[in-house]
Chain A
């Protein structure tokens, strides 16, 4: 509400020359918009070409209606890819949110020298390119030079398969994703914790509320807006994860890790069936949009609720 007021006063005060102010904003936004809208064209093209049998190999293509869509939606490959996408997104997001929140609470509670150093050092994994991070993990997972193999040998486990076996591959990529992105959730939660107002907690102390009670009824509702933002960013990225899986196993072993992004890539670039690749990724885009809208809606509601608690 406050921001709205600031904006409207801004308009009235800059409204000296009406025509100029009416057009000026569009002119200023235009370059940014043109640059990004140039990139928008692919979205529209993607929808059109999903209705054709376009291939990079052939010079001509035909309009084939919903044929690609029907073929894909009735194939087991598609549903398998959906299942992999959802599982990957669920496990990585849940672990990152939970772990990130836990670490943020630890850092906030401890407030000693060790925790202050860790506040800085723990963001390093987040800044390393996912592809580089995966490379580093490959160096660790490797059975001949990898340190993890030597570590597991202590416990009598030999030749742990990691990414090589269908039963442990998902766990391995999720672990790498968690390694990279937990600090993202940690940073957002920590920022949320440190901006908590003091007064509600002081009055709760006088009322004699338990730590658990305070956490559930004060900390958590006031943290919710930050948590939703972390959830939004992580979930959206995890649903379309590509780099980590590609670098680790290219979707293998077999089709164990073929999510929608990788399946679309494989069909489009390796099999060169461009039109056939698009529905996979369009479905993902639609799904991401719906989920993102829901999270944004909830985030706004949580923000209003938190603002109410602060008073």
Chain B
């Protein structure tokens, strides 16, 4: 009796999970299917059709898609590099030292995460035009710090806090100076955490839409902004739209697979140590 009801409950649980899995994964599968369909087959076929690479060819070689990808790469990559260089030392200081206003500073940095993007963008639009950094890599990398810096500082701070201070003390006794300790002892210890935080920051930057939409223009168009143009003008070419979506989603998904173990910690800014 008990085992029978147990088995039934297992079947139901697997079933429920399967239903959710279809909801969660089907749109992505559908996107892949459409990307291989020719425009002619789009309307009269569902799952059975002759696949074609024409959409991929059109998007990759006959449009500016690769330039958009490159813009995304430069802006997101640049943002992460700046955040790592400035953020890791800050994270160390916030983890190790006690100083006045420490928690205030930490929370100030975190609060950017929760500030409405439009609120930041409206005045920045004005400032950027006055400073002539509107629609430049520099301007976008700067504003992207609002995405990558809080994440990096809060997550990396947690990893520093996990390292016992005894290690630093022992190295100090051995005669190493602060820089040697920092780069030779501490950085290797937090490296997995640091790399995953940086990759997650990259994903967020790669996916951001509001900032580049309003602070980028004709010169710099990351893929998220460019995709709305595929949507607007080429509405008949659904296959190309699917290709554009699929390729833009690929880097984020690959990176996410690499940092699975650290994902929860990164996503919760170090609050949940999964």
Binary per-residue interface labels of chain A (101-132) against chain B in the complex, 1 for a CB within 8 Å, 0 otherwise: 01100110110101100101111111111111
Contacts of A278 in B (CB 8 A): 119, 122
| Chain A CB within 8 A of B175 CB | no
| SS of A interface (majority) | helix
Binary per-residue interface labels of chain A (293-304) against chain B in the complex, 1 for a CB within 8 Å, 0 otherwise: 000000000000
Interface contact A121-B25, CB-CB below 8 Å: yes
Q: Which of A73-81, A86-94, A182-190, A201-209 has 4 or more CB atoms under 8 Å from chain B?
A: A182-190
Interface contact B116-A240, CB-CB below 8 Å: yes
B198, chain A: closest CB distance, angstroms:
14
Binary per-residue interface labels of chain B (17-35) against chain A in the complex, 1 for a CB within 8 Å, 0 otherwise: 1101101110110110010
Of the candidates B30, B90, B124, B169, which one forms a contact with A136 in the assembled complex, judged by CB atoms under 8 Å apart? B30
A42 to B214 alpha-carbon distance, docked (Å): 15
Q: How many B residues touch A, CB cutoff 8 Å? A: 99
Contacts of B48 in A (CB 8 A): none
| SS of B interface (majority) | helix
Contacts of B10 in A (CB 8 A): 110
A188 in contact with B249 given A135-B231, A285-B119 (CB within 8 Å): no
A121 to B267 alpha-carbon distance, docked (Å): 17
| Chain B CB within 8 A of A196 CB | no
Interface contact A264-B122, CB-CB below 8 Å: yes
| Chain B CB within 8 A of A282 CB | yes
A300 to B206 alpha-carbon distance, docked (Å): 32
A36 in contact with B122 given A10-B97, A129-B252, A187-B264 (CB within 8 Å): no
| Chain A CB within 8 A of B3 CB | no
Interface contact B17-A107, CB-CB below 8 Å: yes
Residues of B within 8 A of A (CB): 10, 13-14, 16-18, 20-21, 23-25, 27-28, 30-31, 34, 42-43, 46, 82, 85-87, 89-90, 92-94, 96-99, 102, 105, 108-109, 111-120, 122-127, 142-143, 145-146, 149-150, 153, 161, 164-165, 168-169, 172, 203, 206-210, 214, 223-224, 227-228, 230-231, 238, 241-242, 244-245, 248-249, 252-253, 255-257, 260, 263-264, 267-268, 271-274
